[in-house]
Structure 1
Amino acid sequence: MKKIGLIILGLCSQLSFAQANRFIYQVTMKPDSTNRNDIKTELAYLDATPEKSIFYGEKRLQRDSLFTKVRQTGSFNFDRSQMQNLRSNIDFTVDKDFKTNTKTFTSRIARDQYAYEEDRPMEWKILTETAKIGDYKTQKAETQFAGRSWFAWFTTDIPFQDGPYKFSGLPGLIVKVEDSKGDYSFDLKESKKIAAIQAFSQSGNPVKIKRKDFEKQETLFRKDPASFMQASMVSARGGSGISAPQSRGSMRTPDPNQRRQMETRMAEELKKNNNPIELK
C-alpha cells in the first residue's frame, strides 16, 4: 500500500508540473493624456510555467477563437459590432523564456506583425513596505522602465518570478504594478490551473527586428498612417524606392470611400491614443 501511495503521489506531482498556471489581471489604462477621465479597463492573462510565460489580452483570445471557428466552418456568420467589441488596447503579446532570459514583444503596425527582443534590463529596488492584497501578503518594489516610474507588489507565496506585461525578476509573482502617474495599472484578480500555455495561430511569421527599428516604424505610422499603409501596399506589390515593411495581408484594392473612412477613423484613434505605456 505504501508503494502504491508513493506512485500515486508521483503521478499527481507529474500532472501538476505538466499543467500551466493562468493569472488573470485587470488592466486599467488612460490612453488619452488630454482626457484623463477616459479610463479603459480590460482583462489580460499571464499563462506561466517554470520555463516560460506569455502575456496577452482576453479579447485577443476571443478573436483567435472566433477566427479559428471561421476557418473550420467556412462560415463568416458574425457582424461588424461583434468585431468592434473585440477591439483591444492590449493588442500585443509578451513571451518570456526563463531558460534564455529573453522577452519577446509581438505587435501589429498597420498590416504587419513585428517581433523584437526586449534589450533593456529591469532593475528593481525592493522596499521594506508590505501590504495585504487579496489573500496575499506582498512586498513593495520599484523600478524605472521605458520612461516611467513603476511600483510593484509581489508575493513569495506564488513561486513565479514573473508578472504582467514585461515585468519580471522579483522573488515572487507580481500581484499589482502601477506607474507613478496613475496612467497604467495591472491588478491580479484570479488564478487557476490550465492544461497548457496558450498558443496563437499566426498567418505567417512576424517580422523580426530590433526594438529601435520597431519604434521607428511605429513613429512613422503614427505620423501619417495613410502614407505608411500606402507604402506598405506598394512594397507588397514589388514597388521600389519606398522603405516599408512587406505586407502579407489581402492584395485587394479597397473602395476609395471605404479607404477614406478607414483613414479618418484610424487618425482619430491614434489622436486619442497619445499616452502609450512606454514613453521612451
Structure 2
Amino acid sequence: MKKIGIIALALFIQNVFAQTNRFVYQVTMKPDAENKNDIKTEHAYLDISAEKSLFYSENRAKRDSTLQKAFQGGGGRGSINREQLEGFRTNINYSVEKDKSSQKVYYKDRIGRDIYVYEEDRPLNWKMSSETSKIGEYKVQKATTDFGGRKWTAWFTTDLPYQDGPYKFSGLPGLIVKVEDDKGEYSFDLMKNYKIAEIPTLNQFGNTLKVKRTDYLKQQQKYKTDPISFMQNGGGGFPAPPRAGGGGGNQNPADMRKRMEERVKEEAKKNSNPIELQ
C-alpha cells in the first residue's frame, strides 16, 4: 500500500508540474504616430509550459475558437458571425514563441495571405538595478534594456520563478510583471494568472514561410506599397473577393485593387508607431 501511495504522489506531482501556466497581461499601445491620444488597450496571454512559452492576443484566441467551431459544425464560412469576428479585432496580430531548451525566440506575423516566421537575432542585454518596489502582491526589482529602438524598464519578481515575460522580453531572474518604454507608448502589465491544460495551437491559415528578420521587414514594407502582389491567389484566411450587388457579377478588378490599397495604407497610417522602431 505504501508503494502505491508513493507512486500516486509522484504522478500527482508530475501532473502539477506538467500543467501550463497562463499569465494575462494588459497591453497598452499608442500605434498611431500622428495621434498619440489614440490609445489601444487589450489583453494578451503568456502561456508557459516546461518546454516553451507563447505570447499572443486574447482576441486572437477567441477568434480562432469561433472559426474552429463554425468549421467543425460543418457550416463553413457561411456560418461565421461577421459581427462577432469584428468584435475580436486586435492590434496584436503577431505571436512570440520562446523555446526553453534552445533559448531561441521566434516571431510570427501575417503578411497578406501567408505567415512569416523569423528567429530573433538580437540579444536582450539587461542592466540590473538594486531598486525594488511592490506591484500588487509581488515584490519586484527593476531592470532596463535598449531594444528595437526603444528604452525599456522592466519590473520582475522572483516570487514567480519563470525567466520569461511578455512579447520578446525574457532572461531576468524572475517573471516580468511590468515592462514599458520610456515614452509611455507601449506597456505590458500583469493582471492575473491561472493554470490551463496545455498551450493551444493557433490557427495558421496560408503558408508558413521561415525567413530572416531583415527579409521579413523588407516583405512588410513591400506589402504596404503593393498589397495586391501578396493576394493574387486569395486564400490564407482571407475571404473570397466580394461580388457586386444585383447581378452578382465580379466587381471591377481595378476598383478592388484601389480599395485594397487604400485599406492597407489606412492600416499602415494607424500603425505608424510600431513597438519596434528599428
Instruction: Give the TM-score taking structure 1 as reference length.
Output: 0.88
Q: Which residue of 1 aligns with 2:154?
A: 152
Where does residue 43 of structure 2 map in the other structure? Answer: 43
Change (3 A) 1:24 1:253: closer
Q: Which amino acid aligns with 2:33?
A: S
- Corresponding position of 2:217: 215
Q: Shift of the alpha carbon at 1:229?
A: 2.6
Deviation at 1:86, TM superposition (A): 1.3
Q: Could you list the runs of 5+ residues in structure 2 that have no partner in the other structure? A: 243-250
1:120 equivalenced with 2:122 (yes/no): yes
**Cα distance, 1:3 vs structure 2:** 4.9
Could you tell me which residue of structure 1 aligns to residue 268 of structure 2? 270
Q: Give the superposed CA RMSD.
A: 2.1
Q: Name the counterpart of 1:26.
A: 26
Give the C-alpha shift of residue 264 in structure 1: 2.4
Contact 1:50 1:160 in 2 (8 A): no
Paired position in structure 2 for 1:84: 86
Match of 2:228 in 1: 230
The 1:87/1:187 distance shift into structure 2, 3 A limit, reads: same
- Where 2:79 maps in the other structure, the secondary structure is coil
Tell me if structure 2 keeps the 8 A contact 1:31–1:272.
Answer: yes
1:135-190 Cα shifts (integer Å, max 9, x gaps): 10000000010100000000001111000000000000000000010000000000
Of 202, 209, 213 in structure 2, the residue corresponding to residue 200 of structure 1 is 202
- Match for 2:96 among 77, 80, 94? 94
Deviates more, 1:66-75 or 1:247-256: 247-256
Q: Are residues 173 and 252 of structure 1, via their aligned partners in 2, closer, same or farther at CA, if it must alter by over 3 Å?
A: closer
Q: 1:221 to 1:105 in 2, by over 3 A?
A: same
SS for the counterpart of 1:17 is helix
For the residues of structure 2 that align with 1:41 and 1:130, how far apart are their CA atoms?
27
Structure 1: gaps (5+ residues): 238-246
Kindly, what percent of the aligned residue pairs are identical?
Answer: 55
- Counterpart code for 1:89: N
AA of the residue aligned to 1:278: E
C-alpha spacing 1:168/1:203, structure 2 compared with 1 (3 Å) = same
> How big is the shift at 1:131?
0.9
